[in-house]
Amino acid sequence: MNAIVLPDSTLLFDRIADDLATTGYCIYPRALPASLTDRMYQYLQELEQEEFRRAGIGRDQEHQLNRQVRGDQIRWLSRACPEEAAYLAWMEALRTGINRRLMMGLFDYECHFSRYPQGAFYRRHLDAFQGRTNRVLSTVCYLNPDWQAGSGGELLIYADEQARTPIERVEPCYGTLVVFLSDRFPHEVLPARRQRLSLAGWYRVNNSLGGIVDPPR
């Protein structure tokens, strides 16, 4: 694997941890090393359509293909693939960085590429499954070069379940990283006028009982 040299991310991790502790979310343009963002984008261009599948709602057992809720196609990342491992390594550094600063006990990370075809959306939802809140921190990184304002595809973040007006409208610009508490902030993806690419991931805590570790996804 071509090792990516990670620049010192201490300051960035400090700021992310501060934001999570105060507001519970943060949005950073160009958060990742540019070489890593470029590498993920190049890799995504090479992936064949068959390597994506239409996203379902809920965990495996209750997978339900539902275009009324979300229209993206996904591909889960695995450490076995060097390109995917490079992104997972950066997210692992962020995991330990946050744990060190906030004692959140983040245990592992699961992540997929998302491809929203033109017009696709993801209706308002919370990322933490009710009664199974082992997803505690959501991350999204966007891979859309030359994204134009007015193309739609914004991520809208709401303060709580009652809120009707978003507290944030995030353009899915190349390299922007969003991190938020999974069970706190309802959010949605608006339909876009062009294809919209991203990496969506979740840090999980270990809710296992009796030494059985929760399976991923």
Ligand X SMILES: O=C(O)CCC(=O)C(=O)O
Q: Name the β-bridge partners of 58.
A: none
Interface contacts to ligand X, rule CB under 6 A: 114, 122, 127, 140, 155, 187, 189, 198, 200
With residue 157 as reference, give the H or E element that holds it: strand 155-157
Query: Which tokens in the block code for residue 151?
Result: 């193309």
189 binds, among ligand X, Fe ion, none (CB under 5 to 8 A by kind): ligand X
What's the burial of 202, exposed, middle or buried (CB within 10 Å: 0-12/13-18/19+)? Answer: buried
CB of residue 187 vs ligand X: minimum separation in angstroms? 5
Instruction: Count CA atoms within 13 Å of residue 78 on its CB side.
Output: 4
CB of residue 127 vs Fe ion: minimum separation in angstroms? 4
Long-range contacts of 154-158 (CB under 8 A, 24+ apart): 154/189, 154/190, 155/187, 155/188, 155/189, 156/124, 156/187, 156/188, 156/189, 156/190, 157/25, 157/185, 157/186, 157/187, 158/124, 158/185, 158/186, 158/187
DSSP reduced 3-state for 96: helix
| Cα-Cα-Cα-Cα dihedral sign, residues 90, 94, 100, 101 | positive
Return the number of the residue (72 or 83) whose C-beta is nearest ligand X: 72
CB of residue 106 vs ligand X: minimum separation in angstroms? 17
CB of residue 187 vs Fe ion: minimum separation in angstroms? 6
Which residue minimizes CB distance to Fe ion? 127
Which residue minimizes CB distance to ligand X? 155
Return the number of the residue (14 or 146) whose C-beta is nearest ligand X: 146
Return the number of the residue (63 or 100) whose C-beta is nearest Fe ion: 63
Return the number of the residue (16 or 128) whose C-beta is nearest Fe ion: 128
Residues 116-135 that bind Fe ion (CB under 5 A): 127
Return the number of the residue (72 or 127) whose C-beta is nearest Fe ion: 127
Q: Per-residue string for binding with Fe ion, 163-202, x by CB under 5 A?
A: ----------------------------------------
Residues binding Fe ion (CB under 5 A):
127
